[in-house]
A = this chain, B = another copy of it.
Amino acid sequence: MKVLAIGSHPDDIEIGCGGSLIKHRAAGDEVHTIVLTGGGRGGDTAFAMDETLAGTRCVEAHAGAKIMDVTVECWDYNDGEIPESVDLINRIEKVVREFAPDRVYLPYGNDTHQDHRMTSHVAKSACRKVKQILEYEEPSSYNSFSATYWIDITPHIEKKMEAIRAHVSQGHKEILKAKSIEGLNLYRGYQSQVQYAEGFATFRFLES
């Protein structure tokens, strides 16, 4: 199986579907990831873009990817400015055509963060021939997110936490976030009667 995950900023993928990606790798699946921005504002559009930070966070994205044992490419969109543009759709679609994923993980489309919304919208357009699209959950996706698909990540929770913690430049904020995500995964696990799980909204799933 070939799996593609797309995130707006470094650490989005680890947070939303890191455990599932690690599980795919453990099952021998091929996993590729794309991070659209360097995260040069630390997720905060109020600060001017910091190219150095963007560079640092991209290095951390590679560190996180290495822990998850997946490939990653960092694109050059500016934090907070991901456009709903044809160019971006085409760029993603090129990867989709070449890599030909069986499943794609995307941010939730009704997220309160504009970058997550845009990433979800453009990627859905680019992935319109992909058979399985699951939308992952982040703290900013509380707005009408309804989990319908759970993936048991019990054996992989430690490694997922390690991958999130690779984003050291985010400091204490990242540690808090990691803990809250572990809490969420424990809750999603309880809901689905396993120990740790990631929850997804099923956007489109074809059983062929």
Query: Which residues of A line the B interface, CB within 8 A?
Result: 45-46, 78, 80-81, 84, 86, 89-90, 93-94, 97, 112-114, 121-122, 124-126, 128-129, 131, 139-140, 142-152, 176-177, 179-187, 189-194, 197, 199, 202-208
Contact = CB atoms under 8 A, between A and B. Distances in A.
Given A93-B46, A125-B45, A149 B184 contact: no
A184 B189 CA distance: 11
19 contacts: A46-B94, A80-B89, A80-B125, A89-B114, A113-B128, A114-B125, A142-B199, A143-B146, A143-B203, A144-B144, A148-B202, A148-B203, A149-B207, A150-B206, A179-B190, A183-B185, A184-B184, A184-B187, A194-B208
Contacts of A183: 182-187
A207 B150 contact: yes
A177 B206 contact: no
A208 B196 CA distance: 11
